[in-house]
Each structure stands twice: as C-alpha cells, then as structure tokens.
Amino acid sequence: MLATKTSTGFAAVLALLFMMAWTPSHADTPYTVTNGNELDIQSYQGFKVFRNWCARCHGTYGQGMRAPNLAESIAVISKAEYVDVMMSGKVTAKAKKMGRMPGWKGNAQVMDNLDNIYSYLKARADGKIGAVAPQSAN
Ligand code: HEC
C-alpha cells in the first residue's frame, strides 16, 4: 500500500518535471515554419491581423517603415514588454518624429490575437521566415 502510494507520488513528480521541461521550449518558439514560408494556423492568423492593423506603420512583414523594424525589436524586448506596448502604446522622443504607437486595448481583433501576432513576429525575429509573403501550412 505504502509502496503504491510512493510510486504514484513519484510518477506525479516525474510528470510535473516533464511538463516543466517542455513549457519553456514551447514559449521560445510559439510558431512553426515549414518550406521557408508556411506558417502554422495561429501564426498565419497573426500575420493577417498584423497586415490589417500594423503594416501601414511597421511595413507589411514588420520590416520597418516610419515605425521600427519589429523583427529587430522582438529579438530584444521581452514578451511582457511586447504586451505592455500593445496595451498602452509607446511615445518616446524618437517616436514623435515617426508618429506614435497607439495602444490597442480598444481593438477586439488585435486583443484576441495578441499571442498570434507575437508568434508571427517571433518567427521573423528568429530569422525563421524572412520579409516574404507567408502561406498557411494548414
Ligand atoms: C500609427 C503608426 C503605428 C501603428 C498602426 C502601429 N505601430 Fe507599433 N509603433 C509605432 C511607433 C512610431 C513605434 C516606436 C515607438 C517608440 O519607440 O517610442 C512603435 C513601436 C512598437 C513596438 C515596440 C518596439 C520597440 O522596440 O520597443 C511594438 C512591439 C509595436 N510597435 C507593435 C505594433 C503592432 C503589433 C501593431 C499592430 C497591432 C502596431 N505596432 C501598430 C507606430 C505604429
């Protein structure tokens, strides 16, 4: 009886360790890119929302225009900083010359796709997909 309890506990600990080992690696690459430009469905959805709302300032593929190159930014800022900028916007001395980064709190489509947009930009930042038109792999 005691032996069964102990091994059940041991299995639970092993399962927990297994989950802990896997979670960070998924968080590091929240996307998949195949054949150079085919994205998983979530990242592709992120690209479409990005194209709708962000491309006019950041460029169609986030390569930068009057607003910064986000492939470079996302390589440097944390996910928490990304979420913060998305919620509240950002205005610095640099930004005044470029126009300003609006907050998106009031935009349901952007809010619903915060993670999906991040996934697409992370794939860009990691160099897994270039400034090319993505396709949906699914
Ligand atoms: C009206 C133009 C405009 C639009 C539209 C816009 N941005 Fe921005 N964004 C900017 C500017 C300008 C900055 C630079 C702000 C600064 O450095 O002070 C910026 C900064 C950012 C940053 C922070 C970059 C860094 O290095 O700190 C992120 C992330 C970002 N934008 C994502 C987005 C996303 C995602 C969208 C679409 C939902 C979007 N932006 C739409 C103008 C825009």
Domain ranges of the chain: 39-136
Q: Check whether 25 has a pLDDT greater than 50.
A: no
Instruction: State the Cα–Cα distance between residues 96 and 112, nearest whole angstrom.
Output: 28
Q: Check whether 32 has a pLDDT greater than 80.
A: yes
Residue 32, φ and ψ in degrees, nearest 5:
-130, 140
Confidence (pLDDT) at 17: 61
Output the CA 6–ligand 1 centroid distance in Å.
Answer: 53
Q: Check whether 21 has a pLDDT greater than 70.
A: no
Q: What's the number of CA atoms in the CB half-sphere (13 Å) around residue 24? A: 4
Ligand 1 pocket: which of 52, 65, 101, 121 to mutate (most atoms within 8 A of CB): 101
**Which one, of 53, 65, 73, 62, lies nearest residue 131 by Cα?**
62
**DSSP category for residue 41:** H
Q: What is the CATH number of domain 39-136?
A: 1.10.760.10
pTM, two decimals, is 0.84
Ligand 1: residues whose CB is within 6 Å? Answer: 50, 53-54, 56-58, 67-68, 70, 73, 77, 82, 85, 90-92, 94-95, 98-102, 104, 110, 117
- Highest-scoring range by mean pLDDT, 24-33, 87-96, 127-136: 127-136
DSSP code per residue over 56-92: HHH-TTS--SSS--HHHHHHHS-HHHHHHHHHH-B--
Confidence (pLDDT) at 24: 45
pLDDT average, residue stretch 53-60: 97
Instruction: State the Cα–Cα distance between residues 109 and 57, nearest whole angstrom.
Output: 18
